[in-house]
Amino acid sequence: MADTRPSNEHAARTVREQIVFTGRVHGVGFRATARSIALRCDVTGWVRNQPDGSVMLEAQGPQHEIDSLIREIDSEMGRLITDIRRAEMPISRDESAFEIRR
């Protein structure tokens, strides 16, 4: 009888990404919207305004959940976003929630 369990290559691997959103993303509820969306996804991390006018977000979880988070943010706030840059980061072991940082 064949083994029907998912293989390890299909298991959800935890990753962490830093995502930087540029555009008109300050003073428009961007961080609150990002946090609200993140709470619906299986991710931890944080979001904060940057001095240069961008918003930086770090998210950790399964890759498909991070992809979903970014798609949803773009869907809700895309009219204000001119660019999204993504970079993989080291995993943070001390995180248990998603928060807005000042």
Active site residue 101: no
Exactly one of 8, 16, 24, 31 is catalytic; name it: 31
Exactly one of 35, 48, 49, 86 is catalytic; name it: 49
Supply the DSSP string of 19-84, one letter for each residue. EEEEES-SSSSHHHHHHHHHHHTT-EEEEEE-TTS-EEEEEEEEHHHHHHHHHHHHHHHGGGEEEE
Active site residue 49: yes
Active site residues: 31, 49
